[in-house]
A and B are shown apart, each in its own frame.
Chain A
Amino acid sequence: DAGVIQSPRHEVTEMGQEVTLRCKPISGHNSLFWYRQTMMRGLELLIYFNNNVPIDDSGMPEDRFSAKMPNASFSTLKIQPSEPRDSAVYFCASSLEGHYNEQFFGPGTRLTVL
């Protein structure tokens, strides 16, 4: 298996632009997580999907952030409009359903908003 795939790996954009991050989870996994990692705040859970349905989005910072999972093999995290404080590494992770199961992380997308 190729593991969790994220694209792009790096994104540099200007403030105010729309940014879309993409994730392909491991085939057969039915739980998907989006995290944000910064030096100041560490690793934060943004949103959790189970069977393509958003279960908890309480970690989404504000309305500028939105996430979708149209099918079991694809998810997006969109920021519109982007701001410099959104600069971070964004990780997607997937797992089999069950809170005791290992989460498999993608390589991350390093976002820089100028």
Chain B
Amino acid sequence: AQSVTQLDSQVPVFEEAPVELRCNYSSSVSVYLFWYVQYPNQGLQLLLKYLSGSTLVKGINGFEAEFNKSQTSFHLRKPSVHISDTAEYFCAVTDTGGFKTIFGAGTRLFVKA
């Protein structure tokens, strides 16, 4: 079975500063990895996904993530955040042979002016 650990429950950061949201996963099989964002009172929407190939994945809104197989990590980064990036971010994993997506507990990003 897979599991996902998001190492920070909350991350406060000033506007225009860089940010990294950390995600580690465990699985005995190959996986697909995802980051979703949830704005207040909305459903989740996909930021980016890693299926195969290049380990650096670029997503929407200037976010990117790097898959590190040896460290079983998939950290999300943005070089300069905006107030509008304030939201909850979820890391998720699906094994390549299954259908069930396991979500992490979420990291709440607060961007301060």
Interface positions of A (Cβ within 8 A of B): 4, 31, 42-43, 45, 48, 50, 55-56, 91, 93, 99-100, 102-108
Interface residues of chain A: helix, strand, loop or mixed (majority): strand
Instruction: Report Cα–Cα, A50/B100, bound state, in Å.
Output: 12
**B45 and A105 within 8 A (CB):** yes
Residues in B neighbouring A4, C-beta threshold 8 A? 43
The number of residues on chain B lying at the interface, defined by a beta carbon within 8 Å of a beta carbon of chain A, is 24
**B43 and A91 within 8 A (CB):** yes
Instruction: Report Cα–Cα, A48/B104, bound state, in Å.
Output: 18
Interface positions of B (Cβ within 8 A of A): 32, 34, 36, 41-46, 49, 51, 90, 94-101, 103-106
Instruction: Report Cα–Cα, A103/B49, bound state, in Å.
Output: 11
Instruction: Report Cα–Cα, A60/B63, bound state, in Å.
Output: 34
Residues in A neighbouring B45, C-beta threshold 8 A? 104-105
Residues in A neighbouring B101, C-beta threshold 8 A? 45, 99, 103
With A42-B106, A43-B103: A102-B46 Cβ-Cβ less than 8 Å: yes
B54 CB, min distance to chain A CBs, angstroms: 16
Instruction: Report Cα–Cα, A42/B46, bound state, in Å.
Output: 17
Residues in A neighbouring B94, C-beta threshold 8 A? 99-100
Residues in B neighbouring A93, C-beta threshold 8 A? 43-44
